[in-house]
Structure formats: C-alpha cells, structure tokens
C-alpha cells in the first residue's frame, strides 16, 4: 500500500470542523497525523501573492515521503469570497487552511475538500443561521462584515432578531 493510500485510509471524521456548509480538517490534527507517518516531513510557507485589487493568495509546501506538494489558497471571508486588504488574522487563517489542504494532497482527508467552492447561500440565510447558532452577538459580528448590498438583503432577518432580542430582554432570557 502506498503512503498516499495509507493516509487516505485514515478516518478523519472526528477531526472535521463544520463552518456553515463547509467542512474543514483541523490543521493541528493533520500536522500531527502527517508527522506520525513521516517524522521527517517538512512544511514551509512562501511569500503571499498580493494582487492589484488588494486580494491575496497564500502558498504552502509540504514535503512528506520524499515528495513535495504545493498548495495555494486565496484569503477568503465567511462566504468563500476573496478579501481585499486582509488583516493578519485573515492571512493566518488562510495559511492554516492552506496547510491542511496541502497535507490533504498527500492523502489525509482529501475527500472532505470536494465541493468546497459551492456558494453558502444568500446573506439573509447565513445571518439567520448565525443567529440560530451563536445568538445576537455572533449575528452582529457577521452583519458588521457584510457589504451594504448584503445588509439590504438581511433587513427582514434583522427585524426578527430585534423583535426576539426585545422579547428576550423583557423576559430575562437573552440569547
């Protein structure tokens, strides 16, 4: 059995993180598993590419079992849309996601990245889902990252959240 087949056969289901409609493999677990299989494996990041519109692409090389695989990933927001002028945290998140994906090129959890480019849904659906999952504060944080156009789409959801917040405040059961 090849090294790719060995890594591909490992069950990663316990280490998948779900965010919206997307599944992500925990980068820390992926590194751990890779090093358990090849303790000489190395990881390196290349200088990010900055495009004229301010978006950025991160690059990662993972060498395992004597073979180097290169992965790349744009710095993305919660909708999988490239971020213009990303901050350090956005870049760090993209680098860790890129690392997990590059390790997956060696076989570990490769199947979970299939279909990741499918859009997550409209803004109002995402805002409602965020509110249901994390409450008012999580929904507010998401809303603050939205474009004006997306905020327009969310007016009905915002009104429902405000009404629920008012009721919860009166009842002392704030979400």
pLDDT digits (tens, 9 = 90+) for 34-92: 999 999 999 999 999 999 999 999 999 999 999 999 999 999 987 788 999 999 999 99
Question: Where among 113, 135, 163 does a domain terminate?
Answer: 113
What confidence tier does 121 reach under pLDDT thresholds 50, 70, 90? low
Q: Are 149 and 87 contained in the same domain?
A: no
Classify burial at 54, counting beta carbons within 10 Å of its beta carbon; exposed 0-12, middle 13-18, buried 19 or more: exposed
**Look-up of token digits 């965020």:** 130
* CATH classification of the domain holding 38: 3.30.160
Q: Note down the domain range covering 157.
A: 123-171
One domain, residues 127 and 52: no
Both 44 and 70 in a single domain? Answer: yes
Q: Sorting pLDDT into bands at 50, 70 and 90, what band is 140? A: confident
Q: How many domains does the chain have?
A: 2
Indicate the pTM of the whole model.
Answer: 0.65
Instruction: Based on the fold, state whether residues 57 and 132 are members of the same structural domain.
Output: no
Question: Does residue 75 contact residue 94 with C-beta atoms inside 8 Å?
Answer: yes
Q: Are residues 90 and 140 located together in one domain of the fold?
A: no
Domain annotation covers residue 118: no
Is residue 136 within 8 A of residue 175, CB to CB? The reply is yes
Closest-CA residue to 15 (of 5, 6, 25): 25
Same domain for 167 and 128?
yes
Average the pLDDT over 3-22 and give the result: 81
Report how far residue 97's alpha carbon sits from residue 4's, in angstroms, rounded to the nearest whole number: 20
Same domain, 20 and 103: yes
**DSSP H or E stretch at residue 68:** strand 67-74
Residues 109, 131: one domain?
no
């Amino acid at each position: 059995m090849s090294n790719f087949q060995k890594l591909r056969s490992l069950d990663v289901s316990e280490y998948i993180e779900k965010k919206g409609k997307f599944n992500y493999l925990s980068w820390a677990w992926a590194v751990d598993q890779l090093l358990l299989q090849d303790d000489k494996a190395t990881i390196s990041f290349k200088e990010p590419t900055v495009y004229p519109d301010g978006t950025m692409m991160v690059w990662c090389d993972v060498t395992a079992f004597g073979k180097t695989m290169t992965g790349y990933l744009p710095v993305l927001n919660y909708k999988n849309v490239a971020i213009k002028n990303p901050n350090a945290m956005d870049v760090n998140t993209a680098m860790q996601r890129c690392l997990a994906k590059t390790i997956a090129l060696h076989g570990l959890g490769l199947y979970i990245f299939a279909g990741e480019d499918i859009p997550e849904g409209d803004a109002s659906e995402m805002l409602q889902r965020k509110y249901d999952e994390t409450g008012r504060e999580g929904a507010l944080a998401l809303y603050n990252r939205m474009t004006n156009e997306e905020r327009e789409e969310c007016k009905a959801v915002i009104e429902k959240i405000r009404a629920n917040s008012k009721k919860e405040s009166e009842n002392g059961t704030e979400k």
